[in-house]
Structure 1
Amino acid sequence: MKTQPRILVTNWVHQATLQQLALLGDVDANETRMPWPREEVMRRAEKADAILAFMPDSIDARLLARCKRLRVVACALKGYDNFDLDACTQAGVFVTIVPDLLTEPTAELAVGLAIGLGRNIREGDALVRSGRFDGWRPVLYGTGLDGSVVAIVGMGHVGRAVAQRLAGFGCRMLGVDPSAETPPGMIRVTLHRALEMSDVVIVCAPLTPASRHLIGNDALARMKHGALLINVGRGSVVDESAVLAALETGKLGGYAADVFEMEDRALSDRPEAIDERLRTHPRTLFTPHLGSAVTRVRQAIELRAVDNIADVLEGRRPRDAINEPTQPLAKAG
């Protein structure tokens, strides 16, 4: 009798996702809202034919060495820098991502962070909740998008979606990306020029060896005094230590982020936590990686990852594969 495929789900998913996976095989799912510890994931992965993986996961050669049955790692995400593609390819394991479904909600959040930071939403909310607000006073003047110069660093799907949303705000938009075309209505410039000209800089770039700490001490020194920086790309594209220093000197007018260096688990020298001084700085605005945290979007992302698992378990090349392993479909379940 043929053994049922085993599918490991490392983080909480919607019930509809579990139901679809149950049609494909035996499911071992994390039903809590907290990620399993690394060793727990490795232990459970040993008997898995497929893994439904998420942002907290790190798939590397050490884990793969223990996974003799594994055929596919289906990532419910777009940015895959925590996953060792070379190691997966050598182990005969497909890696898939969800390339497009995260784009729109992430772009929406980027604009929200820019408005929230510039218009002092955090401080205004605290003032009202304190009970000290007695009516209008000339306080908390900030920066609006209308009439501002906004640079978007990284003109991939997310960067272009941010530009589309900003088109109605009356701002002048600059695009920074040597490898992508600039959409109509934007001016293509170098990073140095964009930093010098912009009132708001929105980082949408993925993490690569070349982009790590792209926005660091030198870049921040080039920015206009009091300019705002927003990061919805990857945490380590921005040097958080350099940002903190620029905030403390007043060079940087504010920093908003949905992504953080401590999340980039593939980097051995990443910080273990967000610096407390950055977390508590009054000119910051943070969200806990909410880019795709829209219920219907997250459900669609999970189900797209399930489709990729189904492809492999049924003997097909997965539709969203980002690698080409040697003889990946020959493993026996």
Structure 2
Amino acid sequence: MTAPKIVVTSRVHAETLADLEGRGRIVVNRDGTPWPAARLAEEIRDAAAVMAFMTDRIDAAAVAAAPALRIVSCALKGHDNFDAEACARAGVWVSIVPDLLTVPTAELTVGLIIGLARHVPAGDRHVRGGAFAGWRPELYGTGLQGSRIGIIGMGAIGRAIAERLAGFGADLAYWDRRPADDAVGFAPGLRRLDRADLFATSDILVVALPLTDGTLHLIDRAALATVKPGALLVNPARGSVVDEAAVADALAAGRLGGYAADVFEMEDWARPDRPRGIDPRLLADRDRTLFTPHLGSAVARVRLAIEREAAANIIDVLEGRAPRGAVNRPDAAALGLRAGTA
């Protein structure tokens, strides 16, 4: 019987490949540059398993053209780039790594909040530029103590952010469609407000929502028109939850005091109308923006753990088990047919 083909679409650690060794014929993208859609489709056409990353997109057409495919193992938490329903109908598992990204993303969020609120990038440029001659009354920012920080979304990442902010003496509040009463255990004093109140009264707003049809451009021009004048907005979640053009307009109008982000609309491959770059007005506004290149999970030991968990999901399926990180439930008949082709 031919060894199953396992496709790994991005460069990974040697330990991850060692986990997969002996499970099949491994094909790895070692370039560090994402494969274009045509190359990805070509590679998975005869594959049994694929370890996929943020830069990939696998839709119904790609799955239909890959009759041996049994699992799309996403080395990430958000999976809107992968059509889990189409995969289920075709008998293909889709799995994610749900928990390992939460803490490092929350840690980075705190860094973005402090960096933006206290003008850390501008201060760094000031010192490096040679103009610093000692203390002067300048670059006054916003402290966390006594400020209201409003968290938009109280899932795992929202809770982890609240937990880490609890020691700063901030007034913590959140909005979510469903109450998260148990989140008070993570952050004593955390209160749920309606969305209008949260936007109107928060000094700092933090986005902690996944990208869905219901959250696409949740933070748009209409929403930004209701924020407290001069408020700061921080997005460590998904780029397209925020309308970046509307943010640029709000900064230009003085409605927003600053914007920090680790994620951008151009990264959301499932959107055919996604921007192909970051709004140049945001990039030019160096004093009121702070950006990082999707570093939420960029902690060495965490990335390794994410990869190995994704590999474990692949091994589960190749050995006839449901993957531990499954987000869909494949059609039983279709699943059986695909298992027979591996």
Using structure 1 for the length normalisation, give the TM-score: 0.98
Alignment partners' CA distance in 2, 1:289 and 1:181: 27
How many residues are paired up? 332
> 2:179·2:192 contact (CA, 8 Å) conserved in 1?
no
Deviation at 1:198, TM superposition (A): 0.3
| Superimposed CA distance per residue, residues 45-68 of structure 1 (whole angstroms, 9 cap, x where no aligned partner) | 111100000000111012112211
Q: Which residue of 2 aligns with 1:279?
A: 283
Alignment partners' CA distance in 2, 1:100 and 1:174: 23
User: 1:292 is matched by which residue type in structure 2?
Assistant: S
Alignment partners' CA distance in 2, 1:157 and 1:313: 30
Q: Which residue of 1 aligns with 2:141?
A: 142
Alignment partners' CA distance in 2, 1:270 and 1:243: 16
- From 209, 227, 237, the equivalent of 1:233 is 237
Q: Which residue of 1 aligns with 2:12?
A: 13
Q: Which residue of 1 aligns with 2:57?
A: 58
Q: Which residue of 2 aligns with 1:300?
A: 305
Q: Which residue of 1 aligns with 2:171?
A: 172
Alignment partners' CA distance in 1, 2:320 and 2:124: 54
- From 165, 185, 192, the equivalent of 1:188 is 192
The equivalences for 1:45-194 within 5 A come to 45-182=44-181, 183-184=183-184, 185-194=189-198
User: 2:119 is matched by which residue type in structure 1?
Assistant: N
Q: Which residue of 2 aligns with 1:32?
A: 31
User: What is the SS of the residue equivalent to 2:225?
Assistant: helix
| Superimposed CA distance per residue, residues 136-164 of structure 1 (whole angstroms, 9 cap, x where no aligned partner) | 11111101111100000010000000000
User: What is the SS of the residue equivalent to 1:222?
Assistant: coil
Flag structure 2 segments of 5+ consecutive residues without an equivalent. Answer: none
Q: Which residue of 1 aligns with 2:273?
A: 269
Which segment is superposed worse, 76-85 or 59-68?
59-68
Which segment is superposed worse, 270-279 or 114-123?
270-279
Alignment partners' CA distance in 1, 2:61 and 2:48: 17
Residue 249 in 1 paired to residue 253 in 2?
A: yes
Residue 310 in 1 paired to residue 315 in 2?
A: yes
Deviation at 1:329, TM superposition (A): 4.6
Alignment partners' CA distance in 2, 1:280 and 1:60: 35
User: 2:311 is matched by which residue type in structure 1?
Assistant: V
- Over aligned residue pairs, what C-alpha RMSD do you find? 1.0
User: What is the SS of the residue equivalent to 2:133?
Assistant: coil
| Superimposed CA distance per residue, residues 228-252 of structure 1 (whole angstroms, 9 cap, x where no aligned partner) | 0000111111111110000011110
4+ residue runs over 6 A deviation? none
Residue 199 in 1 paired to residue 199 in 2?
A: no
> 1:315·1:329 contact (CA, 8 Å) conserved in 2?
no
> 1:156·1:180 contact (CA, 8 Å) conserved in 2?
no
Alignment partners' CA distance in 2, 1:156 and 1:207: 13
Deviation at 1:34, TM superposition (A): 1.2
- From 194, 209, 228, the equivalent of 1:224 is 228
Deviation at 1:330, TM superposition (A): 3.9
Alignment partners' CA distance in 1, 2:213 and 2:10: 28
Identity over aligned residues, as a percent? 54
User: What is the SS of the residue equivalent to 2:209?
Assistant: coil
Flag structure 1 segments of 5+ consecutive residues without an equivalent. Answer: none
> 1:215·1:239 contact (CA, 8 Å) conserved in 2?
yes
> 1:312·1:329 contact (CA, 8 Å) conserved in 2?
no
> 1:175·1:188 contact (CA, 8 Å) conserved in 2?
yes
Alignment partners' CA distance in 2, 1:123 and 1:137: 14
Deviation at 1:101, TM superposition (A): 0.4
Alignment partners' CA distance in 2, 1:84 and 1:52: 15
> 1:58·1:82 contact (CA, 8 Å) conserved in 2?
yes
Deviation at 1:23, TM superposition (A): 2.7
Q: Which residue of 2 aligns with 1:4?
A: 3
User: What is the SS of the residue equivalent to 1:196?
Assistant: helix
| Superimposed CA distance per residue, residues 213-266 of structure 1 (whole angstroms, 9 cap, x where no aligned partner) | 111111111111111000011111111111000001111000000111111111
Using structure 2 for the length normalisation, give the TM-score: 0.95
| Superimposed CA distance per residue, residues 277-305 of structure 1 (whole angstroms, 9 cap, x where no aligned partner) | 11121210001111000000000000000
Alignment partners' CA distance in 2, 1:166 and 1:280: 30
